[in-house]
C-alpha cells in the first residue's frame, strides 16, 4: 500500500456507507487523517470503526446549510487546513412527472445541489493551493431516465457546479473534478424514494442489462477513481466529469 496521502487531511461528506465509506478506507490506508460525515450517528460510529486509523465521524446533514456552517466552523480550526474535500452525499428519487410534489423537488435539490454548493463555500477558507475537491455526480446528468427528471436535473446542476468551481478556483491552485458513477452496488439502491422494496430486484436486473459490461460497479471501483483524482497523479486534471459506469453512458 502506498502513502500517497500521508499527512493529508481528508473530509468526506457522506462517508458512512457505500462509495464514501470505500473511499474513506482507501484514504486512511494510504496515510490520510480522515473525517466522515453523515446523518445517522449509528452508521457513522460503525463506519469509523471499520475505517480505523483514528478516523473522526461527525453527524451533519448536507441538506441543512446551518449544519454545514457549524461543521466547518468546528472542523476548520481542528484540522488547520483541508487537503481533500470529497462531497459524496446524495439521495435518489424516482417518480413520474405527475407524482412529483414541491416538497419532493426541494428535498432532493437541498441535498444533491444546494448542499453541495454551500459545502464547498463553507470549506473554501480551509482549502489551500494544492487541494482537491471531488464531487459525486451521476450518469443521470447525461441520460434521459424515465421517472428520473428531478434526480437528473439535480445531478446536471452538480456537473455544472463542478466546471464552474474548477474555473473559479484554478487560479488559487485548487483542482475540482466530478466522478460520475453508473449502476453501482451500494445501499442507496434500497433507499431510493418512490420505489417499493419489491421493485428493487427488477431495478438491479434492468441496470445490469443496460450496462455494456453486464454488471454493476463496486464502491471500491468508484473509490479508486476518487483517490486518483485527489492524488498528485492527476495534478494536471481539473474540471472533468469522469464516468465510471461500465460504458453505460457512452454506448
Catalytic residue numbers, as ranges = 151
Closest alpha carbon to 7 in 86, 83, 85: 83
Alpha-carbon distance 103 to 106, whole Å? 5
Distance of alpha carbon 230 from the chain centroid: 13
- Taking phi over 0 as left and psi of -120 to 50 as alpha, with beta for the rest, 156 belongs to alpha
Q: Which grid coordinates belong to 229? A: 483524482
Burial of 245 (0-12, 13-18, 19+ CB in 10 A): buried
Q: Which grid coordinates belong to 170? A: 484554478
Alpha-carbon distance 150 to 152, whole Å? 6
> Up-side HSE of residue 173: CA atoms within 13 Å toward CB?
7
H/E stretch holding 129: strand 127-136
Closest alpha carbon to 161 in 67, 105, 239: 239
Alpha-carbon distance 46 to 49, whole Å? 5
Amino acid at each position: 500500500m502506498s502513502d500517497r496521502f500521508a499527512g493529508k487531511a481528508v473530509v468526506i461528506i457522506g462517508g458512512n456507507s457505500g462509495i464514501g465509506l470505500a473511499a474513506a478506507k482507501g484514504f486512511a490506508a494510504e496515510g490520510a487523517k480522515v473525517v466522515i460525515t453523515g446523518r445517522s450517528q449509528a452508521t457513522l460510529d460503525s463506519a469509523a470503526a471499520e475505517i480505523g486509523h483514528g478516523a473522526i465521524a461527525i453527524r451533519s446533514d448536507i441538506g441543512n446549510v446551518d449544519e454545514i456552517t457549524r461543521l466547518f466552523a468546528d472542523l476548520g480550526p481542528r484540522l488547520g487546513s483541508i487537503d481533500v474535500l470529497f462531497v459524496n452525499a446524495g439521495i435518489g428519487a424516482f417518480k413520474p412527472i405527475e407524482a412529483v410534489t414541491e416538497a419532493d423537488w426541494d428535498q432532493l435539490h437541498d441535498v444533491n445541489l444546494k448542499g453541495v454548493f454551500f459545502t464547498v463555500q463553507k470549506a473554501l477558507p480551509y482549502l489551500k493551493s494544492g487541494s482537491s475537491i471531488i464531487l459525486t455526480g451521476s450518469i443521470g446528468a447525461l441520460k434521459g431516465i424515465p421517472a428520473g427528471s428531478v434526480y437528473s436535473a439535480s445531478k446536471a446542476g452538480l456537473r455544472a457546479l463542478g466546471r464552474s468551481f474548477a474555473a473559479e478556483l484554478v487560479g488559487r491552485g485548487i483542482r475540482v473534478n466530478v466522478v460520475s458513477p453508473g449502476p453501482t452496488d451500494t445501499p442507496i439502491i434500497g433507499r431510493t424514494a418512490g420505489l417499493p422494496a419489491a421493485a428493487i430486484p427488477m431495478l438491479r436486473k434492468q441496470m445490469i442489462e443496460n450496462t455494456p459490461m453486464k454488471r454493476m460497479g463496486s464502491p471500491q471501483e468508484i473509490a479508486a477513481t476518487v483517490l486518483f483524482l485527489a492524488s498528485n497523479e492527476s495534478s494536471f486534471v481539473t474540471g472533468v466529469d469522469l464516468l465510471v459506469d461500465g460504458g453505460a453512458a457512452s454506448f
